[in-house]
Amino acid sequence: MSHLPSLQTLRAFVAAGRHKSYSKAAEELGLTHGAVSHRIRELEERLGVALFKRVGNSMQLTETGQKLEAQVRQGLSLLEQAFTPPKTGATKAKRHIVITSVPSMGSTWLFARLAQFRAEHPDLDIDLRVSEALNDYKREGIDLGIRLGSGGWPGLNAVKLFDEALTPVCTPDYRDQLELRTPADLRRATMLLNPWTPWSRWFRAAGLDWPEPARGPKFDDAPLLLRAALAGSGVALGRQWLAVDELRAGRLVAPFDLAVRDDMAYWLAWPTGRAANPDALRLREWLEAQAASEELPCPVSVVG
């Protein structure tokens, strides 16, 4: 086991990746900036690869760093669970959060982030309910929700999580096989269609005088549309924040440097006039911090 890095080194690596900052990681762990920097440099020398790169004022994980961070985070979570003392009968009750989400976000960005939150808070039970309908939060006991819209729902407080934009996405192989270099090259592509995200607006932004495609596979669900693109079936006009993890992993690419802003944004919402569940407040603040710290993996000019 002597070939393994120390737990402190691994914790420093994961904290720096989460915060995108050596200084913030040092604050969390009670170390100095120099100690965190030294541990990460030691890890990079051990592996012979760069794990971080400086982008502006932040330290971003490289592609290799992202893969390692996910594996280390999972390993630390398993160790934490293995050494957590078993609960006695008097302390078995777990704390509980009920969160609702529109299905598209619930099965993509939110699903992956909740898995990370659960790993960091194994004593919490999270009940995720997906629905297009605007739930009655008070009657149904919902603590927190993610909605797609323009905000301003009666009986709910709301804070914007992030704006959304639409850009063509496909697999790297599909892009290369069809030599998709400019928007006009889409004439060679199979267009994947969704009635809620028509292509015509993006065509106009790209300077293409094309009508809305009349033929092509149709999907009325945004995650299914992305799955079709992942299968190499064509090019989808994808919501960037739904596709962010696939883009970050390189399973999807955005072949053109152009996106159109969606009319709606994703919002965190919680009921007014009710004492907040402290664990739901913690989750809300954690999701806000996650959204604020994340960047889209490919630079795209947003218009509209």
Q: How confident is the model at residue 287 (pLDDT cuts 50, 70, 90)?
A: very high
Domain ranges of the chain: 7-82, 93-163+264-298, 164-262
Looking at residue 3, what is its pLDDT? 64
pLDDT in tens, 23-74: 888 887 878 888 889 899 989 988 899 999 999 888 999 989 888 988 888 7
Helix, strand, or coil (residue 163): strand
Match 């919501």 to its residue by tokens: 239
Average pLDDT over residues 169-184: 97
Looking at residue 230, what is its pLDDT? 96
Higher pLDDT, 76 or 50: 50
Looking at residue 18, what is its pLDDT? 87
Average pLDDT over residues 97-106: 91
Q: Degrees (nearest 5) of the Cα angle 244, 245, 249?
A: 115
Higher pLDDT, 230 or 2: 230
Q: How confident is the model at residue 126 (pLDDT cuts 50, 70, 90)?
A: very high
Given a cut of 70, whether residue 183 has pLDDT beyond it is: yes
**What sign has the CA pseudo-torsion 260, 264, 269, 272?**
positive
Given a cut of 70, whether residue 298 has pLDDT beyond it is: no
Given a cut of 80, whether residue 157 has pLDDT beyond it is: yes
Looking at residue 91, what is its pLDDT? 46
Whole-model pTM: value is: 0.64
Looking at residue 11, what is its pLDDT? 87
Looking at residue 83, what is its pLDDT? 64
7-82, CATH topology level: Arc Repressor Mutant, subunit A (1.10.10)
Q: How confident is the model at residue 90 (pLDDT cuts 50, 70, 90)?
A: very low
Tell me the C-alpha distance between 67 and 249, whole Å.
8
CATH of domain 164-262: 3.40.190.10
Judge whether 93-163+264-298 and 164-262 match in fold: yes
Given a cut of 80, whether residue 134 has pLDDT beyond it is: no
The greatest distance separating any two alpha carbons of the chain, rounded to the nearest whole angstrom, comes to 69
Given a cut of 70, whether residue 215 has pLDDT beyond it is: yes
Given a cut of 80, whether residue 275 has pLDDT beyond it is: no
Domain 93-163+264-298: give its CATH superfamily: Periplasmic binding protein-like II (3.40.190.10)
Given a cut of 70, whether residue 81 has pLDDT beyond it is: no
Tell me the C-alpha distance between 144 and 75, whole Å.
29
Inter-residue contact 252 to 238 (CB < 8 Å) = yes
Average pLDDT over residues 123-151: 87
Mean pLDDT score of the chain = 87
Instruction: Tell how strand 95-101 and strand 124-130 pair up.
Output: parallel
Inter-residue contact 197 to 237 (CB < 8 Å) = yes
Looking at residue 128, what is its pLDDT? 92
% residues pLDDT > 90 (the chain): 50
Given a cut of 60, whether residue 92 has pLDDT beyond it is: no
- Cα-to-chain-centroid distance, residue 69: 15
